[in-house]
A and B are shown apart, each in its own frame.
Chain A
Amino acid sequence: MGVYTIMLPDVGEGIAEAELVEWNVAVGDTVREDDVLGTVMTDKAAVEVPSTVTGRVVWLAGQPGDTLAIGSKFIQLDIDGEGDDEPAGDDAPAAEAKAEEEAVLEAASAAPAEPEPQPAGRGSPSPEPQPVPRRAERAPAPVPRPLAAPAIRKRAREAGVDLRQVAGTGPAGRIGHDDLDAFIAGGGRQGAGKVRRLATGTTTRKVVGMRRRIAEKMALSKSRIPHITIVEEIDVTALEALRAQLNAQHAPERGKLTVLPFIATALVRGIEAHPGMNARFDDEAGEIEEHAAVHIGIATQTEAGLAVPVISHAEARTLWDLAAEIDRLATTTRDGKATRDELTGSTITITSLGPLGAIATTPIINHPEVAIVGVNKMAMRPIWDGAAFQPRMMMNLSCSFDHRVIDGWDAANFVRTLKTHLETPALLFMEAGQ
């Protein structure tokens, strides 16, 4: 038997540390080679760390939410044969102490069942102070009346409170003066016949992993970048007609086109005319790097939160190519399978909520980029053509720009270019200079 240590592997280029999101194993568990030990989060991606050996877990590097250095001790296992390490020493006292504490607790619970001084408790034979479980929702079905002492019932009657609607926090759901006080203080008084239970209690969740990354990123963008947002309406009647025609002709073999690949193409055309929009602003170095390649980030909702997979080299992709790539990235990202490369390197970003897209939004720029294009929902609206109202398919674009490096004039011109291309879709397929 020996102790084998697995170090936190390098999960992405140039990353010095990663946040521990969760452990898939606990001390004492037996793991096999390739079993997932835990998950760490880098800037963008959640990475699962597999075991390289078979053995029993004896030590873990920390708690979810902790930041671990790449290359530091991640987990230690007891393995058959010689180990490669001493058990984790002084470098991890906290975790060690915790492991010991657990061992002690385990020993205590395994102790022979001595007659305890504790009276005959059904629910809590342990001498540990235990959180009182809330049993408000637990209704002892056969008894219609709530459990409460006569004085409580009298107070409730006089206050016009139906005790059936008061959550009891006492043993067996018994309602105490505190419960009644809380109910009344919460404005629990109700009219006759109304059955509405007050919701009480607070759920505290630790902001870890992806959510923490999102929070940090949003705070950084919004606090560092002075945004200017321009909302423009686009008549997409022609675009929609074209899209319908293309889908009718090619959908079976090439896949269905959504409006997004058209917008991505419009963006490529717009950037050809306004290359300053396709840039990253390193405000600390005071440098703007303008990119030749158009790597478009597509804001995507996943279960864990907002992620931004990147369509690389949109300038070199056809409409169907873009459509396929958008589709593929959305799926991999939602499945949590997107690689770090697929989640980094964007030079400009599109954000679209689809049918939820609202009339206007104020998109937050994907730092350190300088522009973001928000797509609002499409709707048939009456448009005055000079003689009469015409039903036109309309869609707004809400675009935000880093006002430190992009003036309103330039921003408006860029948006106008997008508008022109989307309203006259033939232009989409004419490269600059043609």
Chain B
Amino acid sequence: MSAGTCGLLVLGAGPGGYVCAIRAGQIGIDTVIVEETAPGGTCLNVGCIPSKALIHAANEFHKITHASDQSALGIKVADPTIDLGKTVDWKDAIVRRLNGGVEGLFRKAGVRLVRGRGEILDGKTVRVVTEDDEETIQTEALVLATGSAPAALPTLPFGGKVISSTEALSLAEPPSALAVVGGGYIGLELGTAYAKLGSRVTVIEAEERILPQYDAAITRPVEQSLERLGATVLTRTKALEPTKKGLRVDHAADGPREIEADRILVTTGRTPRIREAGIDGLALTITQDGFIAIDDRCATSMRGVYAIGDITGDPMLAHKAMAQGELVAEVVAGHRARWDRTCIPAVCFTDPEIVTCGLLPDEAAEQGFDVAVGQFPLAASGRAMTMEAASGFVRALAERGTGRILGLQAVGRDISELSTAFAVAIEMGAVVDDISGVIHAHPTLGEGLQEACFAIGGKAIHV
């Protein structure tokens, strides 16, 4: 039993929490961060990073398999196999290296990491139960960064063959038949990876189409690709309950049926962890959607208590949490920091990838903008052709008249790297002429952004 004090205590060392702690430490605030498991949160341990590792492995394997029977490039490979256990070890090594990296950054910034389960006693006091001790810490400012957990379906509780994304990242071997419940980005990223690793994948989506937050033009290339990979997409279909053979589902028109599956991956969403660690005892204001209500300084309804990341609402994205974490550190340090971001880019690492930033066409229309749209098909891109990746497009939305860029979207292989160009353009307040007037390197996929802007003025070169 020990006691301590600090200026800032961060509860949860995910991307939001660790960035907040590091920035606070850099500024010179006496900072403590409390984490029960390895630092890095969902993103680093069971989210972005490991999933990208698995997707990379699946892509490599698929490329080689593809080469072994039908490569147009003339490459011949004999009967490739994959040892998924080794793949997972490789992935875990990356995760461990990054865990260690975060701890190193804490030390460098003078942040004290307390390993243990935090329990909020009041808005200024946190008790941490460590492996063999208990520590009560008094803090001037408290940052809640407890993140989110995979949401379970009542009819499909996790356990047995029903798994969440966490387990899906550590399977010893690819399932022979995988049912993915929920056609959102997590389900499709993992479903695509397992389809490439040889699983027979069925995606069950209740809405009209997969990735329903995007428009049909964006999701179409992803649907086509899943089809080519031999995956089945069942839209307007609900998962009922697991059966011996697999899973019973109910199609809105055709009625119930049974599909084969030795694993059922449930990716219907994530639940914010707002009842853990005694957060509910603070009686903070909760939004209608069930998140912790914050203002433009990430301050909650209780003075001195801040919240960042997934518990503050959609989009549940690591980079949003990171930006909030940095903001809170500055707010606590007394800087005049405010949340004033125009856009949060979002990437979906399916095949092809989807990247969006700013407003989608229907959102822009809803907000009353008179929108001009320019689109560049990657089929017209020399670079895309040389990558055997000519499906997809880059699209630009601008306000008619002012030319102000409202939204940028793209779908295509490796197109996620354009997220930077997209976000910079929108956050800087670019107009169409700004992007049109920037020389884009040839041959790259990024040229598509300039061409899409040319297209708005009806001056596309390569179409």
Give the residues from 446 to 463 in chain B that come closer than 8 angstroms, CB to CB, to chain A: 453-460
**Does B234 belong to the interface (CB within 8 Å)?**
no
Q: What's the tally of chain B residues with a CB closer than 8 Å to chain A? A: 35
Instruction: Say yes or no: A119-B459 contact (C-beta < 8 A), given A142-B368, A145-B340, A160-B336.
Output: yes
A123–B401 contact, CB under 8 A?
A: yes
- Per-residue contact bits, chain A 148-183, to B (CB 8 Å; 1 contact, 0 not): 111001000110100000000011111000000000
Neighbouring A residues of B336 by C-beta, 8 Å: 157-158, 160
Which residue from chain B places its CB closest to the CB of A140 in the assembled complex? B399
**Does A197 belong to the interface (CB within 8 Å)?**
no
A173–B402 contact, CB under 8 A?
A: yes
- Per-residue contact bits, chain B 363-402, to A (CB 8 Å; 1 contact, 0 not): 0000111001010000000000000000000000011111
Neighbouring A residues of B453 by C-beta, 8 Å: 119-120
Partner of A119, one of B342, B369, B457: B457
Counting chain B CB atoms within 10 Å of each CB, the highest count among A119, A125, A157 belongs to A119
Neighbouring B residues of A138 by C-beta, 8 Å: 402
Neighbouring B residues of A124 by C-beta, 8 Å: 433
**Does A115 belong to the interface (CB within 8 Å)?**
yes
**Does B337 belong to the interface (CB within 8 Å)?**
yes
A173 → B minimal CB distance (Å): 7
- Per-residue contact bits, chain A 408-430, to B (CB 8 Å; 1 contact, 0 not): 00000000000000000000000
**Does A328 belong to the interface (CB within 8 Å)?**
no
CA distance A122 to B432 in the complex (A): 7
Q: What's the tally of chain A residues with a CB closer than 8 Å to chain B? A: 30
Neighbouring A residues of B428 by C-beta, 8 Å: 149-150
A143 → B minimal CB distance (Å): 7
Instruction: Say yes or no: A147-B427 contact (C-beta < 8 A), given A141-B368, A142-B368.
Output: no
B402–A135 contact, CB under 8 A?
A: yes
**Does B404 belong to the interface (CB within 8 Å)?**
yes
Neighbouring B residues of A147 by C-beta, 8 Å: 404, 429
**Does A116 belong to the interface (CB within 8 Å)?**
yes
Partner of B436, one of A115, A120, A141, A158: A120
B402–A115 contact, CB under 8 A?
A: no
A172–B342 contact, CB under 8 A?
A: no
**Does B159 belong to the interface (CB within 8 Å)?**
no
A157–B337 contact, CB under 8 A?
A: yes
B433–A115 contact, CB under 8 A?
A: no
Instruction: Say yes or no: A120-B401 contact (C-beta < 8 A), given A147-B429, A172-B429, A172-B431.
Output: no
Instruction: Say yes or no: A142-B367 contact (C-beta < 8 A), given A119-B437, A119-B454, A172-B402.
Output: yes
**Does A121 belong to the interface (CB within 8 Å)?**
yes
CA distance A153 to B339 in the complex (A): 10
A122–B456 contact, CB under 8 A?
A: yes
A140–B402 contact, CB under 8 A?
A: yes
CA distance A122 to B456 in the complex (A): 8
**Does B434 belong to the interface (CB within 8 Å)?**
yes
Which residue from chain B places its CB closest to the CB of A160 in the assembled complex? B336
B459–A115 contact, CB under 8 A?
A: yes
Instruction: Say yes or no: A121-B337 contact (C-beta < 8 A), given A145-B342, A149-B428.
Output: no
Neighbouring A residues of B434 by C-beta, 8 Å: 171
B459–A149 contact, CB under 8 A?
A: no
CA distance A67 to B453 in the complex (A): 51
CA distance A173 to B404 in the complex (A): 9
Which residue from chain B places its CB closest to the CB of A142 in the assembled complex? B367
Counting chain A CB atoms within 10 Å of each CB, the highest count among B342, B429, B460 belongs to B429
Neighbouring A residues of B427 by C-beta, 8 Å: 149-150
A174–B431 contact, CB under 8 A?
A: yes
- Per-residue contact bits, chain A 381-406, to B (CB 8 Å; 1 contact, 0 not): 00000000000000000000000000
Interface of B is mostly: loop
A143–B431 contact, CB under 8 A?
A: no
CA distance A215 to B428 in the complex (A): 50
A142–B369 contact, CB under 8 A?
A: yes
CA distance A124 to B428 in the complex (A): 20
CA distance A121 to B431 in the complex (A): 9
CA distance A148 to B338 in the complex (A): 14
CA distance A141 to B404 in the complex (A): 13
- Per-residue contact bits, chain B 402-445, to A (CB 8 Å; 1 contact, 0 not): 11100000000000000000000001110111101100000000
Instruction: Say yes or no: A171-B368 contact (C-beta < 8 A), given A115-B459, A120-B456.
Output: no
Interface of A is mostly: loop
A376 → B minimal CB distance (Å): 55
Instruction: Say yes or no: A120-B399 contact (C-beta < 8 A), given A140-B404, A171-B433, A172-B431.
Output: no
Give the residues from 291 to 350 in chain B that come closer than 8 angstroms, CB to CB, to chain A: 335-338, 340, 342
Counting chain B CB atoms within 10 Å of each CB, the highest count among A135, A153, A160 belongs to A153
Neighbouring A residues of B403 by C-beta, 8 Å: 121-123, 171-172
B321 → A minimal CB distance (Å): 18
A119–B436 contact, CB under 8 A?
A: yes
Instruction: Say yes or no: A120-B457 contact (C-beta < 8 A), given A157-B337, A171-B434, A172-B429.
Output: yes
Neighbouring B residues of A118 by C-beta, 8 Å: 459
Partner of A116, one of B369, B431, B459: B459
Which residue from chain A places its CB closest to the CB of B432 in the assembled complex? A122
Counting chain A CB atoms within 10 Å of each CB, the highest count among B340, B367, B400 belongs to B340
Partner of A121, one of B338, B369, B457: B457
Instruction: Say yes or no: A120-B338 contact (C-beta < 8 A), given A150-B427, A171-B434, A172-B403.
Output: no
B119 → A minimal CB distance (Å): 36
Neighbouring A residues of B401 by C-beta, 8 Å: 122-123
Partner of B433, one of A122, A150, A157: A122
Instruction: Say yes or no: A121-B402 contact (C-beta < 8 A), given A142-B367, A142-B368, A143-B367.
Output: no
A352 → B minimal CB distance (Å): 52
A122–B400 contact, CB under 8 A?
A: yes
B145 → A minimal CB distance (Å): 23
Neighbouring A residues of B399 by C-beta, 8 Å: 140, 172
Neighbouring B residues of A149 by C-beta, 8 Å: 427-429
B423 → A minimal CB distance (Å): 10
Which residue from chain A places its CB closest to the CB of B455 in the assembled complex? A120
Which residue from chain A places its CB closest to the CB of B342 in the assembled complex? A145
A122–B429 contact, CB under 8 A?
A: no
Counting chain A CB atoms within 10 Å of each CB, the highest count among B434, B457, B460 belongs to B457
CA distance A160 to B368 in the complex (A): 31
Neighbouring A residues of B431 by C-beta, 8 Å: 122, 171-172, 174
B271 → A minimal CB distance (Å): 31
CA distance A147 to B431 in the complex (A): 10
A148–B454 contact, CB under 8 A?
A: no
Which residue from chain A places its CB closest to the CB of B340 in the assembled complex? A153
Neighbouring B residues of A141 by C-beta, 8 Å: 368
Neighbouring A residues of B459 by C-beta, 8 Å: 115-116, 118-120
B23 → A minimal CB distance (Å): 15
A positions within 8 Å CB-CB of B: 115-116, 118-125, 135, 138, 140-143, 145, 147-150, 153, 157-158, 160, 170-174
Given contacts A119-B433, A142-B367, 20 further A-B contacts (CB under 8 A): A116-B459, A118-B459, A119-B437, A120-B453, A120-B456, A120-B457, A121-B403, A123-B433, A140-B402, A141-B368, A147-B404, A150-B427, A153-B340, A157-B336, A171-B404, A172-B403, A172-B404, A172-B431, A173-B402, A174-B404
The list of the 3 closest CB pairs from A to B, nearest first, reads A120-B457, A119-B436, A172-B402
Sample 11 A-B pairs with CB under 8 A, ordered by A number: A119-B433, A122-B372, A147-B429, A157-B336, A160-B336, A171-B433, A172-B399, A172-B402, A172-B431, A173-B402, A174-B429
